[in-house]
Structure formats: structure tokens, C-alpha cells
Amino acid sequence: MGKEIERKFLVHDNIYKEMAKGRRELAQGYLSRNPDATVRVRVADSTGYITVKGRNAGAVRDEWEYQIPVADAEAMLGLCAEGSVLSKTRYLVDFGGRTWEVDEFHGHLEGLVVAEVELDDENAVLEVPPFASKEVTGDARYYNSNLCKHGKPE
């Protein structure tokens, strides 16, 4: 079992695009939005994934992720997803010795941009990049599973 330790911030400046070392196009949806067993299906470029996550305890949660055939992932997104399927561009930005993932949402979430960084330790010292603003770690309104159902937070 893996542990995901992640902090999340809103983004107020598009300088991340100039800083990015790469980008991916993602589509993702949820087969279960149960906080104790969230099940996500994702297509990242041309690769499929299924991920199971446990309940958040602050910035930490259990996580299991497996690659699956892209045709299976696309079928699950089309037939089984609860709520809408998210579409986003993920920019990878190296900053402060870490790789930040900056998600620029499309469709009904257009205008929402969120930066996430995974940590080895929940108490790790973190240098926040200039494009990041308010921290939303632990704010359930910004969980992707809730964005699928409720849309963009006010």
C-alpha cells in the first residue's frame, strides 16, 4: 500500500506555463466518491489508470494505482463515472527541489487552476512557487471527486 502526502494550492498567475518542463492531457472520472474508498479512472495522454484512495487525514491518505488498458479506462469513463468527467491539462514544474503538478481545468471548470505537490513527509518544509496563492489542502470543495459532482467552488 502506498501513501499519498500532498499539498494543494490555488494558482493566481500563469507563469507556470513558462516554467513547465512538460505537460499531459488528462480525462478522469470517479466510479466511487465514497471518502473511505474513492475509485478514480484516468486517461493520461494514451495511458489508462485506475486508482483507489482511502480517507484523507490532513494531507495524507492511502493510495493504490494501477495501469489498465486505455480502452478499458475510456469505457469506464463513458459508462460508469459518477458525475461529470474532468478534462484538464497538467503542467509539470520543477521548483524548490520538487515537481509541482499544475492542473488547468477545462469545460465546466474553466478558469480553475490548482497546483499540487507530493511530499515524503507531511511536515516537510515546502518552498511555494510564485504562481501559487491560497492553500486549499484538506478543503473538500477542491477534491477532484467533488469538482466532478459540484463544479467550481465559489
Catalytic residue annotation? 30
User: Can you point out the beta strands (E) in 33-59?
Assistant: 38-44, 47-53
CB atoms closer than 10 angstroms to residue 36: 8
Question: What is the chain's Cα-based Rg?
Answer: 15
C-alpha atoms less than 13 angstroms from C-alpha of 35 in its C-beta half-sphere: 9
CB 40 within 8 A of CB 56: no
In 3-state terms, what secondary structure has residue 75?
Answer: helix
What separation in angstroms does the CA of 81 have from each of 38, 74, 120?
Answer: 12, 10, 31
Name the 3-class secondary structure at 77. helix
